[in-house]
C-alpha cells in the first residue's frame, strides 16, 4: 500500500513539472518572434545547452547489472542546470533595416527580463527583448528500467502530454537505451562494478516548434556499501535542437538549428536506500554542468 | 537504522513534491518586443514632375489590432518607437527607367497638425526599387511626430489618424501627357512596441 502512494506522488510531481514548463516554453515563441537568424540562435543557445545537459544525464544510478533474472524499476529523475553569468547575455545585432547597425550585449532567454534599447538615425530606436531571468532550468522525466538478459538491461523514457490550452500542442519525449555489465567478464574480486551503455532520446514540442535529439554513450562504475552506493560515469554526449517559429518581421516561418553540442561528461553520484526504494543524487561535469535527483522503485 | 534514515528522506521528497507550484514556480516580469509594420500604397499616374499623393491611415485602429492579436492592453506597454522605414515599387512596366526625387510627409489629422518630412528620396530609380525593399532615409521631424502619436495612443489622450503624402519634386526624364509616369509603390514604417508581462516560470534552484 505504501509503494503505490509514493508512486502516485512521484507521478504527480513529474506531471506537474511538465505542465508548469509548457506555458513558459509557449512564451519563448513570442519572445523569439522579434528575432531572426543569428539573433534567434544567440537568444536560445543557453536553453539548448541546459536542455541537452539535462537530457543526457540521470539515466543510471548504479553500475551493477545482474547477469540474469527479471528485474524492473520505475524511476523519476529531476535534472537541473544552474546558469552561469556568462549565459545571461549574447552579442546581438540590430535588424529590421535599423540604421546604423549596432551590436550590443542583449539578454538571452535566461537573462534579465529588461529589454535593451539603442538609439539610431533620426530618433529611431531598436529594442532587444528581455529574457526570463532564470537561475536554473530543470525538467522531470519518468523512466522504466527492465532487465536482465546476459547482464544487459534496457532503459525507456517516455511521456506524451497535450498542453493545447497554451497553444503549443503536444509535448513528447521518447528515449531508449541499453546497458551491459562489464563486471561479468572480470574477476569477481574486482573492487567495483562496471557497465557500459548508450541512450538515445528525442523531444518534440508542438507540431514543429522544437525538435531535440540527445545521445550519450559511456561507461559507469559503482560500489555498494550496503544501503549506500557511490557511482561515477564517463560519457560522450551529443545534442542538437531545431526550432521553427513565425517571425514578426518577415511574417514567415523561421527555422533555426542550434549548434550541435558534443562534450565529454564526468558524472559523480551516490545512491541511497534499500529495495524497493532508492534515491540518488549526482553532479555532472561537462560543457554544461548539471545535477540530478532521482527516485527509483523496483526489484 | 535503515528505517530511521529512509523515513526522513522519503518525507523530505514527498514534502518537496506536495509543496507544488509555490516551490517550483517563480513570478518573472519580462519585456516582450512586438514588431509592427504599417504600410501605405500610392498609385502614381503623372504627367508632371511635381505631384502630391496623400493617403490616410487610422493608426489607432492598427495599434488596437496589434494589442488584440497579442492579448495585451495599453497599460502593459512600456514604450513604442519607430525603428525604420522602407519603400518598394510594386508595379512598373515602362520601356525606360525614371529617377524620382522628393519626400514623403506625415501629419496628424486627429490633432489637425502640420505636415513634416518623414522620408527623403533622391534620384531613386523606379526600376531599381521594383519588388526591392529600399531602406528609407528618415527625417527626425517625421520620426518625432510618429513617436508622439504612439505616446498619445498609449497614454489614451488621442486616437491618432495619420496622413502620409508623397511630395514629389523632380523626375528624370520629365514626364508629359505623351510619356506618363505610371507606377505603384508602397511605403512602410516599422515600430517596436515594448510591453512588460508577468509570467510564472519554473525556476526551482
The 10s digit of each residue's pLDDT in A162-182 is: 655 445 567 788 999 999 999
Which residues in chain B are closer than 8 Å to A87, comparing Cβ atoms? Answer: none
Compute the nearest-CA separation of B169 from chain A (Å).
22
Sheet with B181-202, strands from edge to edge, namely: B25-46, B181-202, B77-91, B134-135
Instruction: Report the residue of chain A nearest B142, measured CA to CA.
Output: A122
Q: How far apart are CA A270 and CA A278, in angstroms?
A: 10
Higher pLDDT, A232 or A80: A232
Compute the nearest-CA separation of B9 from chain A (Å).
9
Instruction: Report the residue of chain A nearest B81, measured CA to CA.
Output: A125
Which residues in chain B are closer than 8 Å to A97, comparing Cβ atoms? Answer: 83-86, 133, 135, 190
CB B91 within 8 A of CB B184: yes
The 10s digit of each residue's pLDDT in A118-177 is: 999 999 999 999 998 888 888 888 999 998 999 999 999 988 876 554 455 677 889 999
- B-contacting residues in A 6-35 (Cβ below 8 Å): 6, 9-10, 12-13, 16-17, 20-21, 23-24, 27, 30-31, 33-34
Q: How far apart are CA A278 and CA A148, in angstroms?
A: 18
* pLDDT (0 to 100) of residue B107: 96
CATH class of the domain defined by A2-83+135-298: mainly beta
pTM of the model: 0.82
The 10s digit of each residue's pLDDT in A19-72 is: 555 566 667 777 777 788 889 899 988 988 888 999 999 999 999 999 999 999
* pLDDT (0 to 100) of residue A230: 97
Please state whether beta strands A193-205 and A71-82 pair in parallel, antiparallel, or not at all (unpaired).
unpaired
What does the CA dihedral A165, A49, A156, B13 come to, rounded to 10 degrees? -80
Domain ranges of chain A: 2-83+135-298
Compute the nearest-CA separation of B95 from chain A (Å).
31
Q: How far apart are CA B117 and CA A179, in angstroms?
A: 72
Q: How far apart are CA A49 and CA A263, in angstroms?
A: 11
Q: Which residues contact B80 (CB under 8 A, 6 or more apart)?
A: B63, B147, B150, B151, B153, B154, B191, B192, B193, B194
HEC assignment per residue over chain B: CHHHHHHHHHHHHHHHHHCCHHHHEEEEEEEEEEEEEEEEEEEEEECCCCEEEEEEECHHHHHHHHHHHHCCCHHHEEEEEEEEEEEEEEECCCCCCCEEEEEEEEEECCCCCCCEEEEEEEEEECHHHECCCEECEECHHHHHHHHHHHHHHHHCCCCCCEEEEEEEEEEECCCCCCCCEEEEEEEEEEEEEEEEEEEEEECCC
pLDDT at A101 over 60: yes
* pLDDT (0 to 100) of residue A138: 83
Average pLDDT estimate for A85-92: 94
Report the percentage of chain A scoring pLDDT > 90: 54
Q: Which residues contact A85 (CB under 8 A, 6 or more apart)?
A: none
Higher pLDDT, A250 or B15: A250
What domains can be seen in chain B, in order of their start residue? 25-200 (2.60.120)
8 Å CB contact of A123 and B143: yes
Q: How many CA atoms lie within 13 A of A95 on its CB side?
A: 18
- B-contacting residues in A 171-230 (Cβ below 8 Å): 227
* pLDDT (0 to 100) of residue B24: 64
ipTM score of complex = 0.85
Amino acid at each position: 500500500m505504501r509503494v503505490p502512494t509514493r508512486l502516485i506522488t512521484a507521478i504527480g510531481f513529474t506531471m506537474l513539472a511538465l505542465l508548469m514548463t509548457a506555458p513558459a516554453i509557449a512564451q519563448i515563441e513570442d519572445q523569439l518572434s522579434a528575432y531572426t537568424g543569428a539573433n534567434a540562435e544567440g537568444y536560445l543557445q543557453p536553453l539548448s545547452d541546459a536542455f541537452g545537459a539535462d537530457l543526457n544525464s540521470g539515466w543510471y544510478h548504479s553500475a551493477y547489472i545482474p547477469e540474469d533474472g527479471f528485474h524492473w524499476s520505475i524511476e523519476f529523475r529531476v535534472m537541473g542546470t544552474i546558469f552561469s553569468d556568462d549565459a545571461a547575455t549574447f552579442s546581438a545585432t540590430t535588424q529590421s533595416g535599423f540604421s546604423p547597425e549596432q551590436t550590443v550585449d542583449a539578454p538571452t532567454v535566461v537573462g534579465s527580463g529588461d529589454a535593451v534599447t539603442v538609439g539610431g538615425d533620426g530618433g529611431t530606436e531598436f529594442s532587444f527583448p528581455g529574457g526570463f531571468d532564470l537561475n536554473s532550468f530543470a525538467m522531470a522525466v519518468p523512466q522504466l528500467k527492465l532487465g536482465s538478459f546476459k547482464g544487459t538491461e534496457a532503459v525507456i523514457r517516455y511521456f506524451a502530454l497535450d498542453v493545447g490550452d497554451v497553444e503549443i500542442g503536444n509535448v513528447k519525449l521518447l528515449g531508449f537505451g541499453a546497458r551491459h555489465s562489464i563486471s561479468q567478464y572480470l574477476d569477481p574480486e574486482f573492487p567495483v562494478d562496471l557497465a557500459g551503455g548508450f541512450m538515445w532520446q528525442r523531444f518534440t514540442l508542438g507540431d514543429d516548434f522544437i525538435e531535440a535529439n540527445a545521445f550519450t554513450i559511456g561507461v559507469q562504475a559503482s560500489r555498494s556499501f550496503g544501503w549506500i552506493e557511490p557511482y561515477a560515469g564517463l560519457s560522450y554526449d551529443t545534442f542538437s535542437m531545431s526550432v521553427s517559429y513565425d517571425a514578426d518581421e518577415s511574417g514567415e516561418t523561421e527555422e533555426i538549428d542550434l549548434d550541435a553540442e558534443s562534450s565529454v561528461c564526468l558524472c559523480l553520484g551516490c545512491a541511497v536506500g534499500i529495495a524497493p526504494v532508492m534515491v540518488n543524487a549526482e553532479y555532472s561535469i561537462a560543457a554544461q554542468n548539471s545535477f540530478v535527483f532521482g527516485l527509483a522503485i523496483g526489484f | 537504522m535503515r528505517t530511521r534514515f529512509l523515513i526522513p528522506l522519503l518525507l523530505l521528497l514527498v514534502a518537496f513534491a506536495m509543496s507544488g507550484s509555490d516551490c517550483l514556480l517563480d513570478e518573472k516580469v519580462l519585456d516582450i518586443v512586438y514588431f509592427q509594420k504599417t504600410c501605405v500604397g500610392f498609385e502614381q499616374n503623372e504627367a508632371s514632375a511635381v505631384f502630391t499623393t496623400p493617403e490616410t491611415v487610422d493608426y489607432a485602429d492598427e495599434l488596437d489590432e496589434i494589442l488584440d492579436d497579442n492579448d495585451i492592453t495599453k497599460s502593459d506597454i512600456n514604450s513604442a518607437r519607430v525603428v525604420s522605414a522602407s519603400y518598394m515599387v510594386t508595379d512598373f512596366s515602362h520601356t525606360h527607367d525614371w529617377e524620382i526625387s522628393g519626400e514623403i510627409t506625415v501629419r496628424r489629422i486627429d490633432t489637425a497638425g502640420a505636415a513634416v518630412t518623414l522620408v527623403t528620396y533622391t534620384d531613386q530609380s523606379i526600376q531599381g526599387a521594383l519588388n526591392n525593399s529600399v531602406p528609407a532615409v528618415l527625417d527626425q521631424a517625421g520620426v518625432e511626430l510618429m513617436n508622439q502619436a504612439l505616446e498619445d495612443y498609449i497614454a489614451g489622450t488621442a486616437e491618432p489618424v495619420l496622413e502620409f503624402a508623397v511630395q514629389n519634386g523632380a523626375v528624370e526624364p520629365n514626364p508629359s501627357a505623351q510619356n506618363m509616369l505610371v507606377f505603384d509603390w508602397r511605403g512602410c514604417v516599422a515600430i517596436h512596441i515594448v510591453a512588460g508581462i508577468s509570467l510564472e516560470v519554473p525556476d526551482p534552484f
